[in-house]
Structures are given as C-alpha cells and as structure tokens.
Amino acid sequence: MFDSLSDRLQDVFDNLGRKGKLTEEDVATALREVRMALLEADVNLKVAKDFIRRVQERAIGAEVQKSLKPSQQVIKIVHEELIQTLGQPGRLNLGGPSPRVIMLVGLQGSGKTTTAAKLALMLRRDGRRPWMVAGDTYRPAAVDQLVTLAKQLDIPYYEEGTRAAPPDICVRGVQAAKDAGASVVILDTAGRLQIDDQMMSELEAIRDRTQPAEVLLVADAMTGQEAVRIAEGFNERVGLTGLILTKVDGDARGGAAISMREVTGVPIKFMGTGEKIDGFEPFHPDRLASRILGMGDMMTLIERAEQAFDQREAEILQRKMLKNQFTLEDFLKQLQQVKKMGSIGQILNMVPGMGRLRQQINIDDEDAQRQLKKVEAIIYSMTPSERRNPKLLNASRKRRVAAGSGTSVEDINALLKQFREMQRMMKMLGKGQMPKIPGMFR
C-alpha cells in the first residue's frame, strides 16, 4: 500500500537532496520509478515507454516550484501528462435521426450486459427513450439476464431467444424500437475474443446492418498487458467510437485504460463503479490518473499546498530555516498554513494509503484541532523575546505561560521538545540532507 509512486519518489529525492531545478539525472532516476509504477499498474510496456519519453521531455529543466518538493514536482508533471493521455471524457454522440444505435462489444465477462442496463437507465434519466436488444445468443441465459434487468428497470427490450442469427436479431430489434418511438437502441452482443475471426465477422455484419452511432468497447479495469491487442483488434475490425471501463470499484490500478486509449485514440466515456445498476459514471481522467500512479488523491493535496502556502512567505521561511533562524513565531505561522489546507482528517484521507490507516487508528479531527489551538495559545502567551529565544523559558516563566494559555507545564515542555526536534532537522536540511517531516500533531 505504501509503495505508491509518491512514496518511492520521495525516497529517491531524499537521497538526491533538494535542488532548485530538476536535472537530467534527477529526472532519469525518478522516471525509472515512474516506469515501474506504470508497469505495476498494468500499463502496456510499449505504451509506458512512449509515455516516459514524453514526461522526460517536459521534466528536464523544469523549475521546481517553491511550495513543492522535487518528488512532488515530478509527480505533478507525470500526473498532468497522464491526464492528457487519458484524454477528456467523451460524450455520447446522440444527435441525428432517431433511433440512434449504440453497440456494445468486448471480451467474455467484461460486463456488457450489465453496462447495457446501466447505460439505458442513465439515458432514461436524461429524458431519452432507450430500448435494449438481446444480441447474445451464445452464452447460456444471456438473453434471460438482459430481459431480467430490462424488466427490473422497466426499459423496453427486444429479444428472439437464441435461435436466430445475432445480426438479424439486431436489425429487427432496431426496427421494433423505431416503430415504438425509441430514441436510442442499445445492442448487447456476445463476448468474444478479438482473435476469433468468425465472431469478429459477425460484429462487422451487425455494424454494417444497423449503422451504429456509437461502437463502445466494454473493458475490464483489471485487464493486463493484452489490453493493447484487445483494443486494437476490436478497433481494426469494427471501428470503435469509445471505451467503457468496468469494475472500477475494485482495487485494480487500471493502467489498461491508458493502453487502450493510446492504441485506439478514442475517448473513454464511462466507468462502471458497482454491481448495482446506478454504479455508472462519466469518466474522470484525474481520478483514474491518481489511481494508476497509486497515489490516492495526492494531487488535490499538492494543489491545496500550492494554494495555501504563500509563495513569498514560503521563501522567507525557507531562508530562515537554512540559516537556522527559525523561531516559534515561524512555527506558529507554519501550523496555521497547514490548517488552511483543510482538516487533518481531510488531509490524511488524501495521502496515499492513509485513508485506510485513518479508519484504523481513528484519528479524531476535533482532537487534532484542539491540539493546534493549544499550541497557538501557548505561543501567544509568550513574550516576543521568548518566542524568538525559547531558552529564556525557565521554570517560573513556563508556569506563567501555562497559566496564561490554560495549559500545563508538561504541555509547554512537549511543545518545546517538538520545536527543538524541528530545528535539529532544519540544521540537517541546511547541510543538504532531507529529513522526513515527522507528525506535527503528536
């Protein structure tokens, strides 16, 4: 869980130290990790290579923004490129004469029938009049499955059992839907392998005779390296207009989506996110990109950090840190900026792997906020000279601060200890070592 790309890159850059610009060497080291992450997410090897080449071009010489660590900078570039590769979510092309035909194709078990029902429901909610046609005469009870779903949802459907040929059924189904005034017809087809010549010819026949406005490949998010050849195969034979990624509610990283998108060039239009019929959403490139990189919602976190930390202030703070002039006042300022990023719970949820951890250890937002308030109260109760030089705080001064802030001397000692720890780290930082920032709220 913790071997997400961001953690790995963090390790890489811990060793390299912080630098203002990403050098070629930095980038090369980081990209090896990126490549690994992509392969582990099932991005096809060749597709991953091309992708890395593009990132490399963008990353070398890129200025590291003040608010970001070099590792975060690389992630940002990778993430942006990934979003670009995944492309914008495609909309269904439903203009033109009614009824418009949508044909669903794909391998066995990818989820076509369920998707047909989900799509129909979505279209009806959009105010259209969808029909479903049972074009899978091969898999036992596939027709029953479609009919059961259609009845459940009260969507009109067309079926002829399993005796007729699927292209004939589809043609008659479209006609029946037209006669009944349908505006969209969804054709469910049998699952098939793209290397099965005869079965692929059947799809061609269905396409030629029903002239679909959309031919959508329904593909399992868990697909491995073969995604490339599967998508290519279907695209060459029937000409895809879009992709639907199913079973996205699982924990697969979903790199197959990049592969399929790269080789077909057609947009990803929807994602299936649950067994229930309403588990169906328009495609979100940003979310999928984070997931492929195994990053939770790291991007949102990085963006918030960028917004919350005032650039200029960050620079001043950094200079002070390096010169070891960091005071309790600065400490307070930093805490307040962290607070601006959102509640601790929210932040933790965005850190990869932390969402689950948080459930386990049950971090209490209110508790964290209370801690923060306490620290604020303590620092506010100090005189400016004490804030700049905490060594002045002898026993009697500590008692005064404790009384003024409504805390105890132990609280003050704990805070001072934490602060000294931080100063020690900053000294290391000044020497070019990159320490890990420990939990601030413990």
Partner 1 sequence: MGSLRKGLSRTRQSFFGRIAQALGATDITEDTWDEVEALLIQADVGVPTTMMLVDRLRHLGITRADKLTEALKDELRQLLIEPQPLNLSGRTLSVVLIAGVNGSGKTTSIGKMAYRMRLNNRKVLIAAGDTFRAAAIDQLKLWGERAGVPVIAGQPNSDPGAVVYDAVNAAHSRGVEVLIVDTAGRLHSNFNLMAELVKVRDVLRKVVPDAPHETLLVLDGTTGQNALTQAKKFQEAIDVTGVIVTKLDSSAKGGMVFAIQQELGLPIHYIGIGEDMRDLVFFNPTSFVDSLFENGNEE
Ligand X SMILES: Nc1nc2c(ncn2[C@@H]2O[C@H](COP(=O)(O)OP(=O)(O)OP(=O)(O)O)[C@@H](O)[C@H]2O)c(=O)[nH]1
Quick check: 354 and 296 in contact, CB under 8 A? yes
66 near partner 1, judged by CB under 8 A: no
C-alpha of 288 from chain center: 4
**Residues sharing a CB contact under 8 Å with residue 366, sequence separation 6 or more, in sequence order:** none
Backbone dihedral region for residue 134 (phi beyond 0: left; psi -120 to 50: alpha; all else: beta) = beta
Binding residue for partner 1, selected from 119, 142, 174, 231, defined by CB under 8 A: 142
Applying CB under 8 A, among 138, 160, 388, 416 the residue interacting with partner 1 is 138
Cβ closer to partner 1: 167 or 233? 233
* Closest CB to partner 1 among residues 219, 415: 219
Per-residue burial over 402-440, b if 16 or more Cβ lie within 10 Å, else e, is beebebeeebbebbbebbeebbebbeebeeeebeeeeeb
| Binding-residue pattern over the window 337 to 366 for partner 1, x denoting contact by CB under 8 A | ------------------------------
Would you tell me the crossing angle of helices 311-322 and 328-340 to the nearest 10 degrees?
140
Q: Is 195 in the site for ligand X (CB under 6 A)?
A: no
Q: Least CB distance from residue 246 to ligand X, whole Å?
A: 12
Q: Which ranges constitute the DSSP H helices of 103-141?
A: 112-125
Distances (CA, A) of 414 to 192, 381, 408: 65, 16, 10
Which of 28, 164, 180, 193 forms a contact with ligand X (CB under 6 A)? 193
Which range, of 4-12, 42-50, 335-343, 399-407, touches partner 1 by CB under 8 A? 42-50
Q: Is residue 233 within the footprint of partner 1 (CB under 8 A)? A: yes
Tell me the closest approach of the beta carbon of residue 92 to partner 1, in angstroms: 24
194 belongs to the binding site for partner 1 (CB under 8 A): yes
Nearer residue to partner 1 within complex by CB, 362 or 385? 362
Least Å distance, CB 109 to ligand X, is: 4
- Cβ atoms within 10 A of the Cβ of 267, count? 18
User: Which partner from the list partner 1, ligand X, none does 367 bind, CB cut-off 5 to 8 Å by kind?
Assistant: none
Query: Is position 88 an interface residue for ligand X (rule: CB under 6 A)?
Result: no
**Residues 246-265, interacting with partner 1 (CB under 8 A):** 247, 249-253, 255-256
CA distance 259 to 265: 10
Alpha-carbon distance of 356 to 297, in angstroms, equals: 13
229 binds, among ligand X, partner 1, none (CB under 5 to 8 A by kind): partner 1
Q: Which is nearer to ligand X, 39 or 199 (CB)?
A: 199
Instruction: Please report, as residue ranges, which positions from 269 to 288 form the binding site for partner 1 (by CB under 8 A).
Output: 275
Rule CB under 6 A: say whether 166 interacts with ligand X: no
Task: Name which of residues 100 to 139 contact ligand X (CB under 6 A).
Answer: 108-109, 139
140 binds partner 1 (CB under 8 A): yes
By the rule CB under 6 A, 70 interacts with ligand X: no
Nearest to 230 by CA among 319, 238, 116: 238
Element (H, E) at 187: strand 184-189
6 binds, among ligand X, partner 1, none (CB under 5 to 8 A by kind): none
Residue 252 CB-half CA count within 13 A = 20
Is residue 164 a contact partner of residue 137, using CB atoms and an 8 Å limit?
Answer: yes
Q: Which helix (H) or strand (E) holds 245?
A: strand 242-246
Which residues of this chain interact with ligand X, rule CB under 6 A?
Answer: 108-109, 139, 191, 193
